[in-house]
Structure 1
Amino acid sequence: MDSSLRVHVEDVRGEGRAAVLDRIAGYGVAGVTVAAAGERSRDITPHGPARVTLRADGVHFTPPADLFAGLRLTPPVQAGAAEEPLAALRADTARRGLRLHGWAVFLRNATLGLAAPDVTVRSCFGDRGAPADLCPSHPDVRSYAAALGRAVARQGVDSVVAEALHFGAFGGPCGFGGSGRGHGPGRGHVPLGPMDAFLFGLCFCDFCMRRATDLGVNAEAAREECARIVGGVLGGDPPAQGEVTRAALTAYAGPEAVAYARARSEAVTSLVSEVSAAVAAEGSRLVFLDGTGAVKGHDDGLPAPGLAAHDAWQLGVDLVALGDLVPSLGAFGYARDAVRVADDVGAYRRSAGEERELRVVLRPGPPDTDSADRLAAKVRAARAAGADAVDFHAYGLVPYPILDRVTAALAG
């Protein structure tokens, strides 16, 4: 089974490239997935020279001038990018027989969103309160994403692993009540239910509304209904209970709101197609990573019953359509239970079809994994359910003894 360990450039720089790569090679993985285009975060790094690492939005290379010339949005450049850390990693991984994949966070970028608020999502109330969430429907964002995909591919990586190349989740990982990402932790003392939060997170910018209208949806009616329902909860009405499903949402918010939510998949599907073509033009290939599993299991590894593949539509992801457009799909297996990992992987496999590569991201330590045996069980479950590859998150975030679990899990 193919496998890779995720790493951040800051961690490689801090501990030394040779030491990090030698240790990674010893785990038995086939490759390294480096954060070529990262996002701001505040991470505990247990074996780094800094035990808390502050990461910034942006790329770890100099953006090619020909790709971003004339574009309104250009990626922030990380400190030390002029030293070409990705080129050095490419050379050193090749010498060790390791593949190198470029992990890129596309549409979560608070630096860009704060500088140009109009490219971020707009709520049913007209607020631009999520500066890290760039809207997939906005033309400037779409041009930026295609150029970023091509720029990462040009670094000579075997694949471009695209994270956040879809709509975000309101109050998802490290959002309201979380910590560390985007514009910092949010404070929300109104008990929104899952359906209320979903409606609050829908984007009603001009471009999203126009796309929905072109697909036959009454976008203004959907916006008004979302504002009425969420506004009522913000005013003291009891929040809706239960998981977000199409049937439950139809009963709660009406058919236009559901139709509007489903129409978002057109923007995501067409954008992913454009980015995939851009990456292929540079001789690499796109791995589209659906973030639904991370949203569901991020905090405690106990995702709600709905399988991630079945809930992907909530982020505007149409897995069946994407299965025909991209060579590789990725999913997060953020669950404690190996059976749940298998169920999620199986659902992705059925949605994507048998011909597409399917990669699964696992966490070798808390909150998902409490032992080497549990990690090995999840690797076996993922493989049996149809996963072609397992990636582990992430080198700098967990102690060495937890990373050592990877060796036995892959050997098994």
Structure 2
Amino acid sequence: MDSSLYVYVEDVRGEGPEKVLDRITGYGVTGVTVAAACRRARDITPHGRTRVTVRRDGVHFPPPDDLFGGLRLVPPVQDGAEEEPLAALRLATARRGLALHGWTVFLRNGTLGLADPDVTVRNCFGDRGSPADLCPSHPDVRLYAVALGRAVARQGVDSVVAEALHFGAFGHGHRHEPGFVPLGPMDVFLLGLCFCDFCMRRAVDLGVNAEAAREECSRIVGGVFDGDPPAQGEVTRAALTAYAGPEVVAYARARSEVVTSLVSDVSAAVTEEGSRLVFLDGTGSAKGYADGLPSPGLAAHDAWQFGVDLVALGDLVPSLGALAYARDAARIAEDVAAYRRSTAKDRELRVVLRPGLPDTDTADRLAAKVRAVRTSGADAVDFYAYGLVPYPVLDRIPDALSA
């Protein structure tokens, strides 16, 4: 089974490429998925050059002038990008017979969002309260995403692994900020919907009363802000219809056209550059990232909440990636099987596991998850991430792959 290990450029730079790749080769994986375009983060890196690594938004290569020269949005550039670490890694992996994939964060970029707030999502109250979330409906964001996909493909990677190439959720992926209003899951979902001019216009073109949806969202969430009890329970289409009405549900569903068309454009651009797109659905991360205990709804069934239409994308992209962040191997098997049912049989399905905490506490548990991934119809299993877990945790990978 094909497999890959996620790494950051800082991992390679800090430990040295030969040492890192020697270790990775020893784990029995067939490829490396390197962070070509990152988002801001603060990570504990137990065997890194710094034990706490502060990451910035930006790319690890000089942005090509012919792609970004006329664009409003240009990715920030990481320190050391002029040394072209991705090109060096391409040569080093090729010598070892390892594939190289370019992990690319597309629409999470607080640096760009704070500089140009109008390209970010606008909530039902008219606030630009999520500066790291670039809106996939905005024309400038769409041009930026296509150019970024092309730029990463030009680094000679076997595939461009697209993270955050869809809508986000309110509060997911942002630093902790004071919020002492007890919002329920559906209130959080409503607050995360984008009502910018471009999103509303696209919804209207699809026959949705966008203004009615916005007014209903602001009425419901505003009522909770004023002291109304929040609704509990999972966000499902039926529950959301009962809570917010059919126009809100129709508005939320209309976002899939935005995402599908954008992914199609990026995939075509990446293919033209001689690579291929792996669309990474972030639903599994949103459900289980913190503790590995996702809510009962399967990730594939809840992907619509982020504007992701898996069936449509399954006909457009050559490869789909799923984040299986759950403690229970049986739950992972159910998630993977649901993704497989939504994806054409001739399309690759890659599943990302975490070899350590919070959802994998033993080598046996990791082996059980790999078996679940294999038996549920996936084509590849990947592991996240080299620099974030201790060496003994990484040492679980070879036995899990060979079990």
TM range (shorter): over 0.9
Of residues 367, 371, 375, the one that matches 2:366 is 375
Return the match for 1:287 from 274, 278, 289: 278
Q: Which amino acid aligns with 1:286?
A: L
C-alpha distance after superposition, 1:113-168 (max 9, x if no partner): 00000000000000001000000000000000000000000000000000000000
**What SS does the corresponding residue of 1:273 show, helix, strand or coil?**
helix
Correspondence for 2:215 among 224, 227, 240: 224
Structure-1 residue corresponding to 2:9: 9
1:65 alignment counterpart: 65
1:194-248 CA deviation, whole Å, 9 max, x = no partner?
0000000000000000000000000000000000000000111101000000000
TM-score by length of structure 1 reads 0.97
- Does residue 356 (structure 1) correspond to residue 344 (structure 2)? The answer is no
Give 2:399's aligned amino acid: A
Structure 1 distance, partners of 2:95, 2:70, is 38
Distance 1:229 1:129 in 2: 18
Deviation at 1:351, TM superposition (A): 0.5
Residue of structure 2 aligned with 1:296, choices 284, 287, 301 = 287
- Partner Cα distance (2:343, 2:136) in 1: 22
Q: Which residue is 2:157 aligned to?
A: 157
Partner Cα distance (1:72, 1:162) in 2: 21
Partner of 2:231: 240
After superposition, give the CA deviation of every residue in 1:20-71 in whole Å (9 maximum; x if it has no partner): 1100110000000000001110000000120000001010000111011210
Say whether residues 1:336 and 2:327 are aligned partners: yes
Matches within 5 A, 1:240-259: 240-259=231-250
1:276 corresponds to: 267
Is structure 2 residue 184 aligned with structure 1 residue 201?
no
Tell me which amino acid in the other structure corresponds to 1:368.
Answer: D
Give the CA deviation at 1:171: 2.1
Q: Aligned letter for 1:334?
A: Y
Corresponding position: 1:390 with 2:399: no
In structure 2, the partner of 1:180 is none
Q: Which amino acid aligns with 1:200?
A: L
Counterpart residue number, 1:23: 23
Q: Which residue in 2 is equivalent to 1:179? A: none
Which letter does structure 1 place at the counterpart of 2:366? Answer: L
Unaligned runs of 5+ in 1: 176-183
Structure 1 distance, partners of 2:382, 2:64, is 29
SS at match of 2:136: coil
Instruction: Give the Cα separation in 2 of the matches to 1:98 and 1:219.
Output: 49
In structure 2, how many angstroms separate the alpha carbons of the residues matched to 1:49 and 1:355? 42
- Indicate which of 341, 344, 356 corresponds to 1:365: 356
1:213 and 2:204 correspond: yes
2:76 matched residue in structure 1: 76
Identity of aligned residues (%): 81
> Which AA in structure 1 matches 2:325?
Y
Q: Which residue of 1 aligns with 2:391?
A: 400
1:304-350 deviations in whole A, cap 9, x for unaligned? Answer: 00000000000000000000100000000000000000000000000
Deviation of 1:257 (Å): 0.3
Distance between the aligned counterparts of 2:396 and 2:183, measured in 1?
38
- Tell me which residue corresponds to 2:307: 316
Instruction: Describe the superposition over 1:83-128 as per-residue Cα deviations: whole angstroms up to 9, x where unpaired.
Output: 0000000000001110000000000000000000000000000000
Give the Cα–Cα distance (whole angstroms) in 2 for the partners of residues 136 and 123 of structure 1: 14
Q: What is the SS of the residue equivalent to 1:387?
A: coil
Tell me the amino acid that sits aligned with residue 13 of structure 2. Answer: R
For 2:28, give the aligned amino acid. G
Runs of 4+ more than 6 Å apart: none
Partners of 1:261 and 1:187 in 2: how far apart? 27
Distance in structure 1 (CA, Å) of the matches to 2:213 and 2:396: 48
Q: CA deviation at 1:186?
A: 2.2
Unaligned segments of structure 2, at least 5 residues? none
- Does residue 345 of structure 1 match 2:336? yes
